[in-house]
Amino acid sequence: MSSSDFRCRVAVLGATGLVGRTMIKVLEERNFPVSDIVPLASSRSAGQVITFKGREFIIREPSKEAFEGVDIALFSAGAKASREWAQVAASEGAIVIDNSSAFRMDTDVPLVVPEVNPGDIFKGDGTPEPIIANPNCSTIQMVVVLKPLHDRFGLKRVVVSTYQSVTGKGKVGRDALESELAGEKQDEFTHFHQIAFNAVPQIDVFTDNGYTKEEMKMVNETRKIMGDDAISISPTTVRIPVYGGHGESLNIELERDFDIDELRELLRISPGIILQDDPSARIYPMPLTSYERDEVFVGRIRRDYWHPRTVNMWIVADNLRKGAATNAVQIAEVVAARW
């Protein structure tokens, strides 16, 4: 069979969620070689219909039988569902690409951003790992930018403050903002406090060290993806009332000195990055910039004059796409290219 004839059966667990729907959309947009889509969701959604390339597919509940003959399974139904069904799908021969937190820090499961560590997808014999983890959305966009800097100059320390969309919490996060904007009474705030016209410096629960779980994900996942536990990462994660696109302010201390123009050019030519860096013309990344896009946008690049070998920048990416669905599909593309 020629590569142009190759097709695979793809299951999407969580097919009715924001990320699951985006996964299906991205598969179609990127013309992934799909022979058949198997949309899976909870009993509440079973029996509904999704459309892929003009064909209708009925949503089913997950089961062992549902994964029979599946080549690639994209999971985005939460950690509980992933722990329940990932091994089942893998036992049926599917390569599972999981968007939840269930396996990210498992030493036997690769944590992958294709622009950074695509080689981790495969075992020593060249076959793909049965389960591959998709990192947290805020981590993905950051490491796309950190990777070329680390390779050229070495990373010493990263201070990152995030400005994260309500859709990072899925449909419930988006609905909460819309409900608040409509003036509806809130029995309990989805984002811990009112999010409309506000900024909440808490994403997920706090840990004993004073950082939230979201913040510690950025620390631990970045070190795993980059393969370097010596990198110091100091994060503060904040939820803001926008629908799509996470922003991040980065202060990056490098091991070696740099020329700012060389650094800017390095980012411009690096995969997955679009440079938008002309402040005099008010050109810089914004959430609206990244909406429905798959790249990480970078701008406001400037030397930190008060700290040697340190650079500041501002990055934005669509958290539902590059931060979740697109990254998963890109992993699937790397896998499919070996078949």
The residues annotated as belonging to the active site are: 137, 246
CA dist 312 to 123, 129, 142, 187, 330, Å?
37, 36, 13, 40, 28
3-state secondary structure of 86: helix
Show the beta-strand stretches assigned E in the chain: 8-13, 34-40, 49-52, 55-58, 72-75, 95-98, 131-133, 155-164, 232-239, 246-254, 273-275, 296-303, 310-317
Supply the DSSP symbol for 173: H
CA dist 307 to 157, 253, 270, Å?
12, 8, 25
CA distance 162 to 288: 16
Query: Measured at the alpha carbon of residue 296, what is the angle toward residues 241 and 264, in degrees to the nearest 5?
Result: 120
- Residue whose tokens read 């959430």: 287
| β-bridge partners, 12 | 39, 74
